[in-house]
Amino acid sequence: MDNPTRSSLRNSGYSAEKLEQFRRAGPTRTHKGGKLFWTRSRKEALAAWLFILPDTLGLLIFVAIPMVLALSLGFFEVNGFGGYRFVGLANYNRMFRDPLFLESLWVTIVYVACLVPGLYVTGLGLALLVRQRIPLIGVWRSLFFMPYVVSLVVIALIWKVLLIDKVGFVNRVLQMVGLSGEAWLGDPRFALGAVLFITIWFLMGYYMVIFLSGLQEIPREYYEAAKIDGANAWTMFTRITLPLLRPTSFFVLLVSTVSAVSGSQAFDIIYVMTNGGPANSTSLAVFYIYEQAFKFNNYGYAAAMASFLVVVLLVLTMVMFAATRGGRFHLT
């Protein structure tokens, strides 16, 4: 967002009339207490606390407390009626002996390991492609970005039909070019690949936008100078683009890793398309945890597994915070 310039300030908001209005209103006395107690800085602090109160309280109740609960609930057995029984480390012992959980961790690792580089390459590739000055570039950019605005449930439904065995559109097209189709969602060898493909297709336009804004920050003169020195496109990419894109790259890698671990996109896709199957091949940890909680009512056990993910994500957040020096980061 552009910062407002002086001229826009003059035109909007704080106009001369408004100033006059404030002047006429005179000093406001919102607090009637003795002058000694309500100093200016105390008034300011009180106002500030009131300003941040609703949001802070909301975040405390609906984000921070659940986080703490996630870490502690794992020590209890919780039944569907809200009864709690302290069971110590039982849930955690069970967790590391549960082949399905361990398998879901493995699926998560494969998913993250494929998704993060996949998004990096496609996002950057598209950004480089649509940075060219070619006709109708705005239209092509929009088309690449378009899947991202559609809900994942709809996306998953579309692809479910497209990938249906034998008669689905994808297999029809493959048959037309002489390839044999596969039961993409019914075969444990392909199902996770299909989910990955759809996630990348959905998200690549979003990362394209982020990379584009990173690329725009690189001064054109660098490329012009390199061209004069006889550098080819590949040299310019590895010597100018990649190094100067490092902050953007870092940001993209971190955000995509965090959202991949927490299954931000995968959950909806898996819920609609595969339900974790076939043969648990698409059962990501977040999906397995959800099933344990809301299908089998094992809330305590689910919380124990979730706390494992919370710890992983907290570590990632701290890394991000340290690397960006207290959150005052810019994309460039």
Is the Cβ–Cβ distance between 187 and 278 less than 8 Å?
yes
**Residues 63-102 interacting with another protein (rule: CB under 8 A):** 63-67, 69-70, 73, 78, 82
Q: Could you say whether residue 150 binds another protein (CB under 8 A)?
A: yes
Polymer length of the chain: 332
- Which tokens hold the place of 188? 């444990």
Query: Where does 18-170 show beta strands of DSSP type E?
Result: 76-78, 84-86
Distance CA 29, CA 77 (A): 55
Shortest CB 218 distance to another protein, Å: 15
**Residues 221-280 interacting with another protein (rule: CB under 8 A):** 251-252, 255, 258-259, 262-264, 267-268, 271-272
Among 33, 39, 49, 102, binds another protein (CB under 8 A): 49
Distance CA 27, CA 35 (A): 14
| Sign of the C-alpha dihedral computed for residues 292, 297, 301 and 307 taken in this order | positive
- Which tokens hold the place of 163? 């990938």
**Residues 275-304 interacting with another protein (rule: CB under 8 A):** 286, 289-290, 293-294, 299, 302-303
The span of 105-113, 198-206, 218-226, 233-241 binding another protein (CB under 8 A) equals 198-206
Give every CB contact of residue 73 below 8 A, 6+ residues apart in sequence: 299, 300, 303, 304, 307
Shortest CB 70 distance to another protein, Å: 5
**Residues 199-218 interacting with another protein (rule: CB under 8 A):** 201, 205-206, 209-210, 212-213
Q: Could you say whether residue 323 binds another protein (CB under 8 A)?
A: no
Is the Cβ–Cβ distance between 211 and 252 less than 8 Å?
yes
Of 171 and 281, the one with the shorter C-beta distance to another protein is 171
Q: Could you say whether residue 140 binds another protein (CB under 8 A)?
A: yes
